[in-house]
Amino acid sequence: MPNKLLLCVMIFMITRLDVLALGAPDSLLIEQITVSGNTRTQESIILRELLFEKGQYVDYSAFGALLEASRTNLIKTSLFHTVIMDTSVNHDQVTVHIDVTERWYVWVWPLLEQPDRNFNDWLQHHELTRLSAGLHFQHENARGRMEKLHIMALTGYRNLLVLSWEFPYINKSKTLGASIATTLSSQHELNYATGNNRQLFYHGDDFMLHGANLALTARYRPGTFITHFVTLKFTSLHFNDTLNLLNADYLNSVDNNPQYMEAGYLLKIDLRDNRAYPLKGFYAETELTHLLLLKEKYNQTIWGTSLRGFLPMDRKWYAASEFAIKLTTPVTKPYYLQNALGFDRDFVRGYEYLVIEGAHYWLFKSQIRYALVPGFTLKIPFIKSEKFNTIPISIYTGPHFDAGKVWPSTNPSVNSLQGTILAGYGLGIDLVTYYDKVLRCEYTFRHQGASGLFIHFMATI
């Protein structure tokens, strides 16, 4: 009797396992996709970021990963505060419902701009006369098609007018895009040379520079992670004659009105979970630019590549690193076309006050991040709009180490750091909040012995 009972139990279990296996199909049919919450954004813009579409069969075991990757793609558009995906499964068919909370897209910002390479460099001099004031109008989702319209006007230390319009998709299949941008500028003060690894400026009663450019860019994005850009840019500059007296290599010619064309190709591969402050994933970009002076026999080619990796190590620990390199030919060039380590994102932490000029450089950055406050959300009850009443707050801290080198060493008496390894290490704290804003404070030591407290308004990796 016990043997018969055991046999019955085994038959029952095998039968149940078979039924359960039948209940978990190998593939699912995406029967329906519904979208809600998009009062401004067109539904086609949201569907474009998904890794699946209506009527498609997807592997059952991979469906969860496809949902999460699609949600990440939508967050990375910077169109939404939150994206929630729900599913309902009926046998081998699934309905996906996407609910989004849109951001506010139209802003008019009062601007107070400092002209230096970074906030720390300006803070060291804190000269109010070197500030410019103006307005910045931006629409981050014009016509609900993720089109970006920017108009910026500044006056003061420098006069500036910028107009740009970006069309991410101009064809039905949403693979081709385009943008147009033009800039007019003028300023009385200009960097004319470098001494002791610092920029030297001259201020004149007359304008030192008038500039104008027009850029046209075509974009090709066949999928969701890889984007190609091709840019044509025309630039016309008019320099004051005084600059050639201050630095004979500034223009490297008798013509103080250089005009040139640039043709560039940029490839981006973006597998990060977030653009403003990624914690996992990978990002790579490589760019090739060729410059042709129209009035003189001078050509310049620049190639640059950046690789960034982000790795979750534990529940609250993360690692981030970047390697970048830039090469330029020819090595000798007019000063106003000179490359330098110390601009934009390309700097070794601890060297914020310095510039190291040269034709080529490489840069390595690394950082360990510990989540002191991981993803806290602050609700403001007296503000009714969801676009403004939800404030995400995350705080990370940890050590960092950077290194870099500029070569060849062309003028060591003026730029003593050319041809040497630069290194900086220290400890920082990052605040990530409202509308992708990042505030980073860090104390960094240079390997030469100097140290200081530095502030940045973006993630350094």
Give 13-47 pLDDT, tens digit per residue.
434 344 334 445 688 899 999 999 999 999 999 99
How sure is the predictor about 204, in pLDDT bands with cuts at 50, 70 and 90? confident
- Would you state the CATH architecture of domain 25-102? Roll (3.10)
Choose the weakest-confidence range: 255-264, 287-296, 374-383. Answer: 374-383
pLDDT at 365 over 50: yes
Across 344-372, average pLDDT: 94
Laid out side by side, the sheet with 57-59 consists of 57-59, 27-36, 93-102, 80-90
Across 240-267, average pLDDT: 90
Task: Quote the pLDDT of residue 409.
Answer: 79
Task: Quote the pLDDT of residue 25.
Answer: 64
Q: How far is CA 229 from CA 222, 233, 273, in A?
A: 12, 13, 22
Task: Quote the pLDDT of residue 339.
Answer: 83
Average pLDDT along the chain = 89
Say how far apart CA 293 and CA 254 lie, in whole Å: 14
φ, ψ of residue 409 in degrees (nearest 5): -85, 105
Across 205-213, average pLDDT: 94
Across 424-439, average pLDDT: 92
How sure is the predictor about 122, in pLDDT bands with cuts at 50, 70 and 90? confident
pLDDT winner (highest mean) among 235-239, 246-250, 371-375: 235-239
Could you list the beta-strand ranges (E) of 221-347.
Answer: 226-239, 259-270, 281-293, 299-312, 317-329, 340-341
CA 64, 372, 363, 458 dihedral sign is positive
Task: Quote the pLDDT of residue 24.
Answer: 53
Task: Quote the pLDDT of residue 205.
Answer: 86
Residues sharing a CB contact under 8 Å with residue 3, sequence separation 6 or more, in sequence order: none
HEC string of 329-348 equals ECCCCCHHHCCEECECCECC
192 in Cβ contact with 201 (< 8 Å): yes
Choose the weakest-confidence range: 120-124, 206-210, 229-233, 267-271. Answer: 120-124
Taking domain 106-456, whether its CATH number is 2.40.160.50 is answered by yes
Higher pLDDT, 198 or 45: 45
pLDDT at 384 over 60: yes
Choose the weakest-confidence range: 262-266, 352-356, 390-394, 401-405. Answer: 390-394
Share of the chain above pLDDT 90, in %: 67
Across 204-211, average pLDDT: 92
Which of the 8 DSSP states describes residue 258? -
Across 156-166, average pLDDT: 95
Share of the chain above pLDDT 70, in %: 94
Higher pLDDT, 185 or 118: 185
Say how far apart CA 135 and CA 111 lie, in whole Å: 5
Say how far apart CA 461 and CA 444 lie, in whole Å: 16
Higher pLDDT, 152 or 157: 152
Task: Quote the pLDDT of residue 34.
Answer: 96
Max Cα separation, the chain? 110
For the chain, domain boundaries: 25-102, 106-456
How sure is the predictor about 60, in pLDDT bands with cuts at 50, 70 and 90? confident
